[in-house]
Amino acid sequence: MKKNLIAELQDGNSNILSNLISAVENGLAAKQYSEIYPYSHDTVRIGITGPPGAGKSTLINQLITLIRNEDKSVGVISVDPTSPFSGGAILGDRVRMNQHALDPDVFIRSMGSRGEMGGLARMTHQVADIIASSGKDIILVETIGVGQVEAEIIQNVDMTVVILVPESGDDIQFMKAGPVEYGDLFVINKADREGASRVAAVLRDYVSDAFEGRSYTPEILLSTATEGDGISEIYKQCWNFIDNLKKSGNLKRRRRNQYFSRVRNNVRDELEKRFWTEDVTGDLEKLISDDDQRTHSPSDTARRLIPKEN
């Protein structure tokens, strides 16, 4: 079964890939995921983040073309806000990448965030592992674009590209404790608009301060993705950065830290799942009365539910 699954994935069976991703998203394919995980480590993963309207999907569409021109295969994960009715992705960025839909070496998957606050869906890393196990050379991960809270992206990719626009100038101070801190490459997209050079200069000052004392300072590039301007330089800088990570050993360290974080997160999720039995839920219902809500804080009530150590 194991060899058959891997063989079908690596033969480009997109139906098998899509069905397996859906099963993993719904918690129904733990065994299959464990089988394919060892085959997921060779793929380069690049995160694309930035505010809504920055042109992330258009830029990704252009990057796909460059990747395919080099005869490399690519997977794309686009995380969108979740519909409150269906639970699915509202925007469905695959619509913007239709020109690649029939290419067997391109796989694009939209995911609903399902209420997660880190800019990604909860199962993004596992979905990326599944796509990687199919033999894709590169995976591009696009976040929702919710601003400062999107630090989750660095736990899912080898490098992070932050996309901004000329109108982002007033937001850079706000983002200094967020995207400016974890970006590996910055792009001012829609650079044909007024103010692009000014924003690049302001960002350059902030980045210089934020990365003082570190081993590198991120590049800041200009692009107009709708026209394809600047995309080749972005692609080149991405590969230069990945090559430098490999040569320095930092890629291995980044992936080790990600693995450590994923184990911690999985322990938390597993313990929470085991804790919330029907009995504990019933106990909570009994504890929540009008008087309890007024006199006991939520943390006090939580402690009353957790068994005391002997």
Residues 32, 5: contact at Cβ < 8 Å? Answer: yes
Match 């592992």 to its residue by tokens: 129
Q: What is the dihedral of CA 126, 11, 235, 42, to 10 degrees?
A: 50
Using CB atoms within 10 Å of the CB of residue 228, give its burial: 0 to 12 exposed, 13 to 18 middle, 19+ buried. Answer: middle
Segment 63-86 shows an average pLDDT of 82
Q: What is the DSSP string of 170-193?
A: GGHHHHTTTHHHH-SEEEE-STTS
Token pair belonging to 290: 């009008």
Global pTM?
Answer: 0.86
The pLDDT value recorded for residue 69 is: 96
pLDDT tens digit string along 89-140?
445 445 566 678 789 999 999 886 544 444 445 688 899 999 999 999 999 9
Token pair belonging to 7: 């063989």
The pLDDT value recorded for residue 174 is: 47
pLDDT tens digit string along 136-191?
999 999 987 655 445 677 788 999 999 988 886 655 654 555 566 778 999 999 99
Q: Please, what is the average pLDDT of the chain? A: 83
Between CA 193 and CA 293 the distance in angstroms is 53
Q: Band of the pLDDT at 244, cuts 50, 70, 90?
A: very high
Q: Band of the pLDDT at 249, cuts 50, 70, 90?
A: very high
CA angle at residue 247 from 184 to 259, to 5 degrees? 65
